């Protein structure tokens, strides 16, 4: 394969990978669906910054390093699991505290920019499987002896694909019609999302 084909293949594989439902998708949707586009986009920024961090870490060989130190790998998993459980519990507690008829005014609580960026970053950065994924993706798709610029171009490709996907998800769930539907379904959705996040956290903690 030539370099363009390699980069296009990496983009396609990565697009399919991040489109699969998982903790990051659950968190992005839970923020964006509130109708706060600014918070949703800032959360996406945090996710993309974590993506860049892990992709660069893969470039530096951190995947191999973590595999050599299973306790460090497990520690990162437990931190990520704890954060997902915290986010899920926060949703459930918030639903209980604000139990009652949903209104457009009460449906969206203000979220600081720093909190949104931090939530996106921590959700993605505390999943050590991500660096293993990038290391495998680059290792399989980029042939031995390839020029250095090809590897760094691959890093840029996965970051751009991630940004485009998560921005698209955020913009979709902040469409007024979607937000209005969320207001009506908020109590049920908060319970579902809270349970999903807690379940994902428990799964990561127990099974890795």
**What is the pLDDT at residue 46?**
94
**What is the pLDDT at residue 111?**
65
Cβ neighbors of 108 (< 8 A, separation 6 or more) are 34, 35, 36, 179
**What is the pLDDT at residue 19?**
83
Q: Please state the pTM of the whole predicted model.
A: 0.70
**What is the pLDDT at residue 147?**
80
**What is the pLDDT at residue 107?**
43
Nearest to 80 by CA among 45, 72, 163, 167: 72
Give the CB-side neighbour count of residue 77, counting CA atoms within 13 A. 18
| DSSP classification of residue 69 | -
Three-class SS of residue 32?
helix
**What is the pLDDT at residue 156?**
93
**Residue numbers of the chain with a pLDDT score lower than 70:** 1, 35, 61-69, 72-73, 76-77, 80, 98-111, 128-129, 131, 144, 182-183, 208
**What is the pLDDT at residue 106?**
39
Q: Which backbone phi and psi does 147 adopt, to 5 degrees?
A: -65, 150
**What is the pLDDT at residue 208?**
63
């Amino acid at each position: 394969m030539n370099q363009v084909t390699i980069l296009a293949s990496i983009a396609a594989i990565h697009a399919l990978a991040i489109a699969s439902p998982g903790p990051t998708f659950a968190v992005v949707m839970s923020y964006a669906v509130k109708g706060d586009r600014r918070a949703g986009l800032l959360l996406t920024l945090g996710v993309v910054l974590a993506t860049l961090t892990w992709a660069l870490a893969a470039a530096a060989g951190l995947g191999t390093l973590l595999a050599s130190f299973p306790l460090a790998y497990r520690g990162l998993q437990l931190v990520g699991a704890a954060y997902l459980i915290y986010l899920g519990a926060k949703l459930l507690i918030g639903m209980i505290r604000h139990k009652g008829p949903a209104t457009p005014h009460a449906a969206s609580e203000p979220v600081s920019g720093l909190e949104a960026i931090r939530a996106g970053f921590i959700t993605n950065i505390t999943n050590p499987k991500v660096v293993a994924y990038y290391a495998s993706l680059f290792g399989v798709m980029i042939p031995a002896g390839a020029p250095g610029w090809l590897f760094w171009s691959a890093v840029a490709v996965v970051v751009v694909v991630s940004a485009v996907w998560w921005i698209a998800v955020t913009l979709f769930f902040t469409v007024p019609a979607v937000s209005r539907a969320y207001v009506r379904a908020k109590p049920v959705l908060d319970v579902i999302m809270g349970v999903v996040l807690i379940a994902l956290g428990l799964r990561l903690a127990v099974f890795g």
